[in-house]
Amino acid sequence: MAQLSQTRIPCTLMRGGTSRGPFFLTSDLPSDVPLRDRVLLAVMGSPDPRQINGIGGADPLTSKVAVISSSHKRGIDVDYLFAQVSVDRPLVDVTPNCGNMLAAVGPFAIEQRLVAPSDPVTPVKIHMVNTGNIAVAHVPTADGEVVYEGDVTIAGVPGTAAGIRIDFLDTAGSVCGALLPTGRVRDQIDGIDATLIDNGMPVVVLRAADFGKSGHETPAELDADKRFKQRLEEVRIRAGERMGLGDVRSKVVPKMTLVARASAGGDLATRTFIPHKCHAAIGVLGAVSVGTACVMPGSVAFEVVRPQPGAIKRLSVEHPSGEFSLEIEIDETSGRELKVIRSSLIRTARALFRGDVLVPSSIWDGSTSKPPLAISSAMDHTR
Angle, vertex CA 204, rays to CA 345 and CA 131, nearest 5: 60
Supply the pLDDT for residue 108: 98
Could you tell me which of 67, 69, 49 has the C-alpha nearest to residue 58? Answer: 49
Residue 156 pLDDT > 90: no
DSSP string for 11-80: EEEEEETTEEEEEEEGGGS-SSHHHHHHHHHHHHT-S-TT-TTSS--SSGGGSEEEEEEE--STT--EEE
Decide if 9 contacts 44 (C-beta within 8 A). Answer: no
* Number of other residues whose CB lies within 10 A of the CB of residue 91: 16
- Residues 212 and 231: their CA atoms lie apart, in Å, by 11
Supply the pLDDT for residue 376: 44
Domain 6-163+349-381, architecture per CATH: Roll (3.10)
| Residue 368 binned pLDDT confidence (cut-offs 50, 70, 90) | low
Could you tell me which of 211, 216, 232 has the C-alpha nearest to residue 268? Answer: 216
DSSP string for 248-297: -TTS--SEEEEEE--SSSSSEEEEEESSSSB-SS--HHHHHHHHHHHTST
- Residues 48 and 133: their CA atoms lie apart, in Å, by 32
Residue 251 pLDDT > 80: yes
Supply the pLDDT for residue 309: 83
Q: Residue ranges of the domains in the chain? A: 6-163+349-381, 187-346
DSSP string for 80-134: EEEEEE-SSSS-EE-SS--HHHHTTHHHHHHHTTSS---TTEEEEEEEETTTTEE
Domain 187-346, architecture per CATH: Roll (3.10)
What's the pLDDT tens digit per position in 330-360? Answer: 887 765 678 888 899 999 999 999 999 999 9
Decide if 262 contacts 318 (C-beta within 8 A). Answer: yes
- Mean pLDDT score, 179-199: 97
Could you tell me which of 173, 174, 166, 172 has the C-alpha nearest to residue 327? Answer: 166
* Number of other residues whose CB lies within 10 A of the CB of residue 218: 12
Residue 123 pLDDT > 90: yes
| Residue 260 binned pLDDT confidence (cut-offs 50, 70, 90) | very high
- Residues 161 and 273: their CA atoms lie apart, in Å, by 27
| Residue 96 binned pLDDT confidence (cut-offs 50, 70, 90) | confident
- pTM confidence score: 0.79
